[in-house]
Each structure stands twice: as C-alpha cells, then as structure tokens.
Structure 1
Amino acid sequence: MATMQDVARLAQVSVSTVSYVLTGARPISQATRDKVLAAMAELDYQPNAMARGLASRRSRIVGLLLPMDERGLGATETAFVTGAAAGASAAGYHLVLAPIGVGDRDELRRLASQRMFDGALLMEVQLRDPRVDVLRELDVPLVLIGRTADTTDLSYVDIDFDRTVAEAVGHLVDLGHRRIVYVNHSAGTIAEGYGPALRTRDAFTAAMAAHGLEPLMIPAEDSAAGGRTALATALRQAPDLTAILAMNESAVFGLLGELHRRGLRVPDDVSVISMVTSPQVAELATPALTAMNSPGTALGRIAIETLLRHVDGGHREIHQQLLPCALQVRGSSGPPRTAGTAYPGAGGRQRPGPGSRAARRSAATARRP
C-alpha cells in the first residue's frame, strides 16, 4: 500500500507539499499540484482521513455518544443511528459510535481533549447530563438527540412527547376506554432523570386529566420479565383496566405474553399501544402492535445536519426541533368489551360470556396454584 512518502518521492516534492495538496492548508502552484495528483493516481494512493485533517485540525469524524448495556441496540434505536450515519456519510464525514454514558466523564474528557472527533451527538439524554458540561468546557460542537432540563444555547432534536402521548390517549378514549394504564421505563431510570421517561410520565398525567380520567403509571424494568411484573402490578392496582399504553419495547413483549397466560385477549379484553416504536418492532407482535411510530431516522438525519453546520462553518445558530410520533393503528387496539358479567374480584370489570374462549382461559388461570 502506497504511503505519502512514496507519493513525495515519485512527484519529487517534499512530504509536507503532499500534505498541503491534500489539506489545502497552504497555497500550492498548479504545476506542483498536478505532479502530486498524478503520482497519487499512479500509485493508487488512498489518503488517510486522519492524515488529511492534521493541518486543518479536523478528523472528519463525529462521535455519537450512546450508552450501551447488555441489551444492545434494538430496531428503534438503530433508526436514529442509521439516520445520523447516512447524513454524515453524505457530507464526507464518518460517524463513530462511542458507548459513553453520563458516568463516563473522564473518558469523554480524554477523547474530546485529544480532538478525536470534530463534534458530538448525544443520545439517551438525561435532564441534567454532565456530558454536556464536559463538551461545552472543551468547546466541542454538540447536538442533542433529546433534551436537558435547561436547553439555553443548546441545539437539539427530540420527540414531541406531549403531542405523542396526547394522541395515543386520545385514540384509546375515542375507542371508549376509560381505565388506561401507562407502563414506563424502570423506577431507576426515572430517578436518574432520563428525559423521555419523565416527559412521558408528565404528558400522560396531563392527557388523562384533559379527559377527566385518573392516571396510573407503572414503572417496568427493560426486559420481558419486567413487562410480566408490570402487568401483574397493573392488574392489582387497576383490575378494571381496559387499555395499556407502553413506552418500553423490551417489556412490552413480556406484557403481551402475560396477558395471554392469564387468558386475556388483545384487543378484545385489553388494548395495547406501544409508543416510540419502529414499524419493524411493532410487526413482531401477535397481533401486530398499534404504535406511535418513532421518527428516529428523520431525527438522526436532522441532528447530524445541524451538528455539521456547527462544525464546518463555525455556524452556532441554535436549532431546536420537536417531531411527534405518528399513530399507526394495527391489531392491538379496539373498543373495550361492554357486555357480559364482571370478572370475579375485578372491581366490576366486564368479561365475555361463560362459554367463550377468554372465559375458559380466565377460569383455568384462576385454578392454577
């Protein structure tokens, strides 16, 4: 593989002259430039992106700071990443995923101080996110996919959670539901100040109040087991529930499984809506989930375009934008059952007639030790 030194020898110029041709850091005569370019073509020289950036102090790399755990990336999170990656590539940049969370301030400081990337996108943003403070201190351009509590002088793109939750609740209310439970992320995530969990909690309370309904939020660990536990808790606290709104993809499948185990059919007995969900995930369920589809690809693309405006031109005009999720009705939502007698011990909740399959399953479940 040819090196910059090989190009310099063939073109009979200095290595620094080759570097100036690549970076444009100093003016080079057209004749010299032509010699260097001809040597590069003859040697099939592929300039290293980092080498091109040395003189301009640019790496042509932007970092996506995304905390990672054993769950990895699901289809919905991946949409944010692919949208950002496509936008970076189209602009001649590389997007590098850096698994840096709010507790990795020292590692972030090391990377940022060494100028390993020209700018940063932050995901999984908390209301008070120390990563923002580190990047601001080191004057690294940044854009949030999410929002802190104080967004003064910060560019961000985020989901419009107020509108998204209001539309989801409105869909259920229009179907006739009055006892709706919200399954959120875990109690620990809420306590840590994770923005989406707190904003949807507050939006759910407001949306239910607007319809004169009592809100009930159940936290759930991000796992199938967490979803099963959350459903059990929900049925204890609201045995007359007829609909569940969830923003926890890992938990929602456990929730659906537990509904089936208890002989409760979706949507005949309980309607389920998954929020901030990709169509790919929604179609995995049986029945396919009615969902508030995540605008992840669009948010990722807008975020990277905003960041590169900051990086390329020193353009620091603040850009703040919210996008709602779009309701897509599938098979998991429908009107509540209104005929029949009440479930034993269910606070007057209606159930199907005694000969139905749901009734037989409910009775079988009740007989289990």
Structure 2
Amino acid sequence: MNIGEIARRSGVSRSTVSYALSGKRPVSEETRQRIQAVIDELGYRPNATAKALKEGRTRTIALVIPPASRRLTDVQLGFVASVVDAAGRADLDVLLSPSGGEHDRSFERVIGGRRVDGVVLMEIRLEDDRVTRLRQTGLPFVTIGRTRHPEDMTWVDIDSDFLISRCVHHLADLGHRRIALVNRSAELVATGYGPSYRAQAGFTRAIAERGVEGVETCCADDAQSGVSCVERLLEEDPALTAIATINEAALPGLYRGIEQAGLAVPRDFSIAGVAARHLAENMHPPLTAADVPADELGARAVELLIERIADPATPHRDLLLAPPISLRGTTAPARPRDSRSPDRLRRGGGAA
C-alpha cells in the first residue's frame, strides 16, 4: 500500500496525503481525519525508506538512457520499464534523460540543476565520463553496468564475461569446433562499452579452454546488419557451425542470414546468446540463451539508489547476476559440413 492508493481512497491528492503525514503544510482537520481513517483501515505504515527520504526532496529520480536516435534493445526497454515501475512503487517520479553526443547538455541540466534526488545510469563504458561527473557533483547515483574499476560506486550488472563463456562451453559440448562471437557495433565497442568488452574476454578465454577455433566480429544493432554479418562470416569460413552473441537487435537478421545460406537452425547451425527472455522465447525457433533479469536489475537499482539518497554515507554495494543458460530450440549437436561456399550451399540445399 502506498501514498497514491491512500490518496485515491481518501479523495485527495498525493501531495495532500504527504502533507498530512509530514506536517510540512497545514491540512484541514476534516481532511486529516479522513486520511487517517483510510490509513487505519488499510494498516498503512510508512516504511523505513520512505521515512528516510526527508521532505524537501524533489521525489524524482533520473534515468539516463541512450540517445533517442538509437533504438533501444529489448533488454534496455526492460531496464527502463522496471526502473519506472519500481520508482512508482516507492512513490517517486522518473525523469528520462538521454545522454551522448548532442544530449550532453541535457545530462548536465539534470545533474547540475538539482532537478532530481538521484540518478540511475545505463549503458556504462569502461571509462565513463558521466560517472566521473556524477562523482564530482555528489549527487547519489547507481549504475546498471559497471566501469573498469567499480570499487567506489554502487552498481548492478549481468556477468557478460561468464555468460558468453558458458555459451561457448555449451556449443563446444555439442561438438562445435568453429564458433563466432557476434558482438555489438564497432562504434559501440570502440567506446569501451562494458558488456561488449567483457563478452570478448569471456569468449577468448572459453575458446582457449576448449581448444576450439573462434572468430570475433562486430555487428550493427539492426536486422539487415545481422544478415550481412552471417554472409560475411560464412564467406570467410564456410565450415563455421555456431554463433554466440550479445546483439539482440541483430538476431532476426542472423536467423535470416543463416536461412538464406541454405542452412537450418539448429540442424546445420547453432546459435546461443544473452538476451531478454520474452525475445528469446518468441524467436523461431526459440533462442537458447541466458535470460537477462531486467526486472530484477532495474528494481534493485532503484532500491540501492533510494538507500543512497536517504544516507549518502551508505557503503557502496553491488549485484552481479549470472542467470543459467535456458536450453531452447537453436542449439544441437554439430553436423560435419564441407567447405563449400555459401553460394554453393544455397544452390545445393544445405548440409552435406
């Protein structure tokens, strides 16, 4: 039960309920008694976090998202939805603020003008100027993702290194000996984007551990780039039999590119990756993947931010999640293929 529900049942605004509880502004006795009656009926008790968020705050947090020109992936949309939902449950509003390029001024207005009580920052780079800037302002913040040295910050993240490593081990267990990592775009990787960097590290380590051949490639975040990526990979290595990926947006194109090469998933070619659960489940066939728990990460980020707003001296905390690989319909034992070119594969009908 929250202030919004009390306000609805009392027939007053949320701010009136807040004033009645805090005493910051006068409320008529009749209104106060009506609000109190609803509180008594519902057994409402402000939790410790709500008490700690003292009056005088904006009761608004900022969620810093990628620029509007970049289409958000399913995982990123999951983070946005979960942060907004968790903030609403805590009776907080959320200000969405893009950052990057021409949006840097917007970021500065948000953090410099004290328009918010704290910030949740997404899409973290290994060396992130925004993190440095937030530290300088003293504004409480939590990141979804982490920098190269995250010891003096509060963050939540998924273990991209470990998860891509597990994808490679799963594919190797199935007999695949030529595996590609399809990463995010070259531009994003060049900025030091944390998940891409860690996926590369996990892939390289797992390839070495299993003694298999691996190739790494970047792919822009769209379906057509996924098609082109598969065409390029198979042209350079027609005997390739599997892909591990963290590029959600390219997945439909990866599927289509494999099909256009005359190969069937998973009979001739396997794919495993890291993706939002509902996306993985709704691919055809459903994607074998580590399902990113966006709901849990977003909610936890808000919870940790509220703690820091209430007490900036709270020790830094972190949460690193490594969900299991959900086995679905895109991985199967490797089938030997000859080294025919993709053009010959299309004409000849697929696997040898």
**Normalising by the residue count of structure 2, what TM-score does the alignment of the two structures yield?**
0.82
- Checking the alignment, whether the CA contact within 8 Å between 2:74 and 2:279 is kept in structure 1 is yes
Q: 1:252 offset after TM fit, Å?
A: 1.6
1:251 corresponds to which letter in structure 2?
Answer: A
Name 1:363's counterpart in structure 2: 348
Name 1:302's counterpart in structure 2: 300
- Checking the alignment, whether the CA contact within 8 Å between 1:156 and 1:303 is kept in structure 2 is yes
Q: 1:40 offset after TM fit, Å?
A: 9.1
Matched, 1:212 2:208: no
- Checking the alignment, whether the CA contact within 8 Å between 2:97 and 2:106 is kept in structure 1 is no
Q: Which runs of 5 or more residues in structure 2 are unaligned? A: 1-15, 37-53
Name 1:34's counterpart in structure 2: 29
Name 1:51's counterpart in structure 2: none
Describe the shift of the 1:38–1:23 C-alpha distance in structure 2 as closer, same or farther (beyond 3 A): closer
Q: 1:22 offset after TM fit, Å?
A: 5.3
2:218 corresponds to which letter in structure 1?
Answer: P
Distance (Å, rounded) in 2 between the aligned partners of 1:116 and 1:241: 52
Secondary structure of the 1:97 match is: strand
Secondary structure of the 2:250 match is: helix
- Checking the alignment, whether the CA contact within 8 Å between 1:218 and 1:233 is kept in structure 2 is no
Matched, 1:190 2:189: yes
Secondary structure of the 2:116 match is: coil
1:295 corresponds to which letter in structure 2?
Answer: P
Secondary structure of the 2:120 match is: strand
Q: 1:130 offset after TM fit, Å?
A: 1.3
Which aligned pairs between 1:153-168 and structure 2 lie closer than 5 A? 153-168=152-167
1:344 corresponds to which letter in structure 2?
Answer: R
Name 2:340's counterpart in structure 1: 344
Matched residues, percent identical?
32
Name 1:318's counterpart in structure 2: 316
Which aligned pairs between 1:326-341 and structure 2 lie closer than 5 A? 326-338=324-336
Secondary structure of the 1:64 match is: strand
Name 1:49's counterpart in structure 2: none
Name 1:281's counterpart in structure 2: 279
2:324 corresponds to which letter in structure 1?
Answer: A
Distance (Å, rounded) in 2 between the aligned partners of 1:97 and 1:158: 20
Describe the shift of the 1:210–1:236 C-alpha distance in structure 2 as closer, same or farther (beyond 3 A): same
Q: 1:224 offset after TM fit, Å?
A: 1.1
Distance (Å, rounded) in 2 between the aligned partners of 1:253 and 1:58: 45
Q: 1:105 offset after TM fit, Å?
A: 3.6
Distance (Å, rounded) in 1 between the aligned partners of 2:237 and 2:105: 45
Cα deviation 1:309-366 (Å, max 9, x = unaligned)? 001233421002210132111111100114xx724358xxxxxxxxxxxx9844279x
Describe the shift of the 1:288–1:35 C-alpha distance in structure 2 as closer, same or farther (beyond 3 A): closer
Describe the shift of the 1:58–1:189 C-alpha distance in structure 2 as closer, same or farther (beyond 3 A): same
Matched, 1:258 2:257: yes
1:283 corresponds to which letter in structure 2?
Answer: E
Name 2:71's counterpart in structure 1: 72
- Checking the alignment, whether the CA contact within 8 Å between 1:102 and 1:129 is kept in structure 2 is no
Q: 1:83 offset after TM fit, Å?
A: 2.2
Question: How many residue pairs were aligned?
Answer: 318
Name 2:236's counterpart in structure 1: 237
Larger mean CA deviation between 122-131 and 63-72 belongs to 63-72
Q: 1:27 offset after TM fit, Å?
A: 9.8
Q: 1:213 offset after TM fit, Å?
A: 2.1
Distance (Å, rounded) in 1 between the aligned partners of 2:239 and 2:101: 40
Distance (Å, rounded) in 1 between the aligned partners of 2:246 and 2:183: 5
Distance (Å, rounded) in 2 between the aligned partners of 1:345 and 1:134: 51
Which aligned pairs between 1:100-249 and structure 2 lie closer than 5 A? 100-101=99-100, 104-249=103-248
Describe the shift of the 1:105–1:297 C-alpha distance in structure 2 as closer, same or farther (beyond 3 A): same
1:181 corresponds to which letter in structure 2?
Answer: A
Cα deviation 1:212-240 (Å, max 9, x = unaligned)? 22321011111112111211221133221
Describe the shift of the 1:223–1:317 C-alpha distance in structure 2 as closer, same or farther (beyond 3 A): same
Distance (Å, rounded) in 1 between the aligned partners of 2:192 and 2:345: 44
Q: 1:283 offset after TM fit, Å?
A: 2.8
- Checking the alignment, whether the CA contact within 8 Å between 1:23 and 1:56 is kept in structure 2 is no
Distance (Å, rounded) in 2 between the aligned partners of 1:132 and 1:217: 29
Distance (Å, rounded) in 2 between the aligned partners of 1:361 and 1:60: 59
Q: 1:273 offset after TM fit, Å?
A: 1.2
Distance (Å, rounded) in 2 between the aligned partners of 1:262 and 1:215: 20
- Checking the alignment, whether the CA contact within 8 Å between 2:154 and 2:317 is kept in structure 1 is yes
Distance (Å, rounded) in 2 between the aligned partners of 1:229 and 1:180: 17
Distance (Å, rounded) in 2 between the aligned partners of 1:287 and 1:197: 25
Larger mean CA deviation between 133-142 and 311-320 belongs to 311-320
Describe the shift of the 1:270–1:200 C-alpha distance in structure 2 as closer, same or farther (beyond 3 A): same
Distance (Å, rounded) in 2 between the aligned partners of 1:270 and 1:252: 14
Describe the shift of the 1:168–1:360 C-alpha distance in structure 2 as closer, same or farther (beyond 3 A): closer
